[in-house]
Amino acid sequence: MKNSLWSIFLGLAIILSTYIAAYAFMNRYKSTENIHVKGLSQRNFTSDLIVWNASFTRTAPTLQQAYRQIARDRNIVKKYLTKNGIKPKDLTFMAIDTKEKYHSYYDDKDNYHQEFVGYSLTQDFRVQSKDVEKVENISRKISELIDQGIYLTSQAPKYFYTKLDELKIEMIAEATENARIRAEQIAQKSGARLGKLQNATLGIFQITGQYSDEDYTWGGAFNTSSKEKTATVTVTANFKVR
């Protein structure tokens, strides 16, 4: 009886081990029936929106004097910009930043002192326009306002693209098609036929200045300093092979 039971257990063990080996072999073979490829899409484009920030400052002994002077400067800046073609809707003046000014010094006995000298007011403004060239030209010749006695500080313009979402969708399709073409070439060289797309992973969009040496970043580069830009994205795809 014991020998019979042992024979039965042995037989079941052989059958089970055979099944496990066959299953493992089939899955191992099955895994070789896929092709993993990476597709690329790269597009050059020109920014269609410019944002230019600048500010002007006035300092006076009293707050009333400082506000009168900053209001005068604001009118001069507004008149200058509109005269040069900036639309009122594209010009925004921010809230005035007010700071007290002190003169610090040490006396003959090396004691530290602070002497109140007045108020410093700063007015920030922003020009946001789709007329990129016009704003560029104004930002370059802004020294004309300085010649009028405006204590102005200007930042470099920033460039954006308002149709970026549409561009991204087109590029994803291009990268996926590029991956499929590469997979077909691999399959043909191997004497196989390309099957359906099993899955795909989208890479990070990288937007850099054209012909620049900017590095890609883990979270995705997003250049705002160049009017002419290059967008790049990859798609990693897994295709079935028949």
Return d(Cα 157, Cα 47) in angstroms, integer. Answer: 12
pLDDT digits (tens, 9 = 90+) for 36-86: 999 999 999 999 999 999 999 999 999 999 999 999 999 999 999 999 999
d(CA 73, CA 56): 8
> Quick one: 88 and 179 in the same domain?
no
Same domain, 172 and 220: yes
Are both 56 and 155 inside the same structural domain? yes
Enclosing domain of residue 13: 1-32
Domain-ending residue, one of 102, 133, 160:
160
pLDDT at position 32 is 56
- Count other C-beta atoms under 10 Å from residue 52's C-beta: 21
Say if residue 58 is in the same domain as residue 83. Answer: yes
- Report the CATH number at residue 87: 3.30.70.2970
**Residues 216, 201 share a domain:** yes
Query: Which pLDDT value is given to residue 19?
Result: 42
Using the 3D structure, point to which of 160, 180, 207 is the last residue of a domain.
160
Structure tokens at 190: 């191997």
Last residue of a domain, one of 160, 177, 205: 160
Both 151 and 71 in one domain: the answer is yes
pTM of the model: 0.80
Instruction: Return phi, psi of residue 207, to 5°.
Output: -120, 115
Quote the Cα angle for 53-56-59, to 5°: 155
Residue 8: alpha-carbon gap to chain centroid: 68
Model pLDDT for residues 166-185, shown as the tens digit of each residue: 999 999 999 999 999 999 99
Kindly state the tokens that stand for 198: 């099993």
Tell me the sheet residues that pair with 231.
43, 207
Query: Are 142 and 84 part of one and the same domain?
Result: yes
CB 127 within 8 A of CB 81: yes
Q: Measure the CA angle with vertex 134, ends 133 and 136; round to 5°.
A: 65
* Count of structural domains within the chain: 3
Q: Can you give the CATH number for the domain in which 210 is found?
A: 3.30.110.170
